[in-house]
Amino acid sequence: MPPIVRAAQSSTLLDAALAYADLGMSLIPLTGKRPALTSWTQYQKQSASPEDIHRWGRAGLLQNIGIVCGPVSDNLVVLDLDGAAGYPAFAATFPHLAQTYTIATGGGVGKHVYFRVDGLTASVRAMATPIGNLELCGQGRQVVASPSSHPETGKPYQVEKALDILHITDLEELAAWIETFKPRQSAAEWHPPPSFRFPAGDASLNPRVIDAIAQTLVGQGFTQRGDWLHGSCIHPEHHQNGDRNPSFGFNLKSAYG
């Protein structure tokens, strides 16, 4: 069993925090998903000592654990996917990157995908996309670690792929993929993200992504009408116009949603 998996499956938060620190990871105590410290800047440059961690435990600050990304944790970068369709789309587009240590978040649909990167990529995110929120977390970011509990559901963050952290040269292609989901116009003029150009020239990857998203939506009760899947909106919290039953459509040919 990889050491990172053993750390994540520790029986207590204190044991897990000490195990992560022993693996060279910088960590901070969290309240829910937020840092429990007034400032955690120093832990972006230097890891907490075992004495620091024990002190946090005694003070009741260690309600959850946050792992600090970036050089302080040996060039750790984490892909944070918040949305049921996010991980299937990522794994279909970058199957080689999916073979790494992965955490299922306690929210029920999210995933944290871990990497060690030779050339650090700047943090990048695209929010409220058709496949959910996409964030590549590097320098200056932290992610909730197992066995922490989700602040809303109370369910634990758990190991989904019990693999070692994948070591890779860079994540430029993944960052570029996330960038394609950012809207280039105002909301009234929004158009679907441009097609991502895959370096291998494998034209079958785009249909795989569409199929992966479609299977996820069908599993959530969406029904097909012609080229469209219809169902309840996957992000009802974003509706601000009083819609009683917000809906969502996904085109099986264009991937427009």
In terms of domains, do 131 and 219 share one? no
Verdict on whether the full-model pTM lies above 0.85? no
Q: Is residue 228 situated within a structural domain?
A: yes
| Whether residues 89 and 143 fall in one domain | yes
191 and 175 share one domain? no
14 CB-near residues (< 8 Å, 6+ apart): 53, 54, 57, 62
Whether the Cβ atoms of residue 186 and residue 54 lie closer than 8 Å to each other: no
Token pair in block for residue 75? 């060039």
**In total, how many domains does the chain have?**
2
Residue type, 162: A
47-103 tens-digit pLDDT: 999 999 999 999 999 999 999 999 999 999 999 999 999 999 999 999 999 999 999
Q: Structural domain of residue 138, as residue ranges?
A: 3-179
Query: CA torsion 248→85→151→74, rounded to 10°?
Result: -150
Query: Within this chain, do residues 95 and 222 fall inside the same structural domain, yes or no?
Result: no
Verify that 156 and 207 share a domain, yes or no: no
Q: Domain holding 88: CATH number? A: 3.30.2250
Map residue 92 onto helix, strand or coil: helix
> Do 56 and 131 lie in a common domain?
yes
Same domain, 144 and 193: no
Letter for the amino acid at 122? A
Give the tens place of pLDDT for each residue, 2-43: 999 999 999 999 999 999 999 999 999 999 999 999 999 999
The pLDDT of residue 64: 98
Q: How many CB atoms lie within 10 A of CB 147?
A: 21
Tell me the per-residue pLDDT of 109-139, one tens digit each, with 9 for 90 and over. 999 999 999 988 889 999 999 999 999 999 9
| Residues 205 and 175 placed together within one structural domain of the fold | no
